[in-house]
Amino acid sequence: MYHTQKLLNGITVVCEPIPFVRSVAFGIWVRNGSRGEPFALRGASHFIEHMLFKGTGKRSYADIAEEMDAIGGQVNAFTSKEYTCFYTVSLDNHFDTALDILADMFLNSSFPAEELAKEQRVVLEEIDMYEDTPEDLVFEIMQENVWRGSSLGHAILGDSGTVSSFDRDTLMRYFATNYRPENIVIAVAGNIKPDEATEKVAAYFAGYSASGIPSDAQPAPLYQHGRFGREKDIEQAHLLISYPGIELSSPRLYHMTLLNTILGSGMSSLLFQKVREELGLAYSVYTHYSSYVDTGLFSVYAGVSPENLDIAYEAIVSQLEGINADTLTAAQVAKAKEQLKSSLLLSLESSSSRMMRKGRSMLMLGRIHTSDEIIEKIDNVTHDDVLAMANDTLRTDKMSVATVGAVGTVN
């Protein structure tokens, strides 16, 4: 059972005791991501994530790494469209040290100018790496185009122009304004008592405050379908077919999750069996969905030889358009339910997975469903529910197509 407490400054602390493990996972979750950035500061949230590892008033970047290694712990972070997470995983007897290090990084980072200049070069290399990773690039191209005009379509990393323009004062001001206590959830999971964890977290964070006026809430993006391509001199053609999805708080979220599992998650999924096993057109083919606070995107990816691009596209679209009670059966829904429940229950053996689940849910939804509640929601989804989700989602008039490779768009 998890426990929550809101500190006087607005920070929410969530703790789940797991007495049968010897680890503690600790995460600082901030409801600030690339979606909230002004156009001129695209990539600022991701860049700030990097800068928090570059030193504080009492620790250099080398000290942070060496102190975590000395306790055999891990410290890491990631930035998404709508939130950022900084986290540690350590043995339970080293939690105090891990907490002190991560709290120092978050509360006291000095954003040293000389490290900022070096990190700009590092992030520019990261941007180039994504440009050279066509499977990632095709997703970026899709989002940039279907949500054009909205910050949701902006790349999390920003671009070379914005990253090169960042300076210390701008980044520190953005951090002070947008990383606000009311937008923060601190999640702890592992072999620690909730009262003890909350008391220790509060000792560091109860006095934290923000300054400045926060950015205005972003309007819901308008999905704009179309066909988009990027020619690159590479061996494969990377194909992405996308449709509007559903928002994170939708009561139909598990309808979508089950549809995703049946169509393209695993070796027995419909698209894997058709495109790879039966037709031999692709090594990698899968489905993916993203849900945000007010919208979502459902996608099918395949990497194929350029000469097979049109054939693969037709095979995938035919499979999607042919979804009905005969091609998507009750037995497949039942199997997908077991896959989801198994994945959920197996993840409970990891303190970091539990911390991630609790922190993200409390931050983005303001509530946490227990594993029993999630299993009940999964079990309550019917065959008709999944069919209805397929019919509502896989609409030809809403379909978008993106390609990357030595080809144009599909015919």
Walk me through the domains of the chain, giving residue ranges and CATH numbers.
Answer: 3-205 (3.30.830.10), 227-405 (3.30.830.10)
| Segment (H or E) for 265 | none
Tell me the backbone φ, ψ of residue 21, rounded to 5 degrees: -110, 170
d(CA 358, CA 384): 30
- Name, in order, each residue with C-beta under 8 angstroms of 326's C-beta and a sequence gap of 6 or more: none
Per-residue confidence of the chain (411 residues) as pLDDT tens digits? 899 999 999 999 999 999 999 999 999 999 999 999 999 999 999 999 999 999 999 999 999 999 999 999 999 999 999 999 999 999 999 999 999 999 999 999 999 999 999 999 999 999 999 999 999 999 999 999 999 999 999 999 999 999 999 999 999 999 999 999 999 999 999 999 999 999 999 999 999 998 877 777 778 899 999 999 999 999 999 999 999 999 999 999 999 999 999 999 999 999 999 999 999 999 999 999 999 999 999 999 999 999 999 999 999 999 999 999 999 999 999 999 999 999 999 999 999 999 999 999 999 999 999 999 999 999 999 999 999 999 999 999 999 999 999 876 676
Q: How far is CA 397 from CA 180, 242, 392, in A?
A: 41, 11, 11
d(CA 142, CA 174): 28
Catalytic residue among 16, 37, 49, 119: 49
- Decide: pTM greater than 0.75: yes
321 belongs to the catalytic site: no
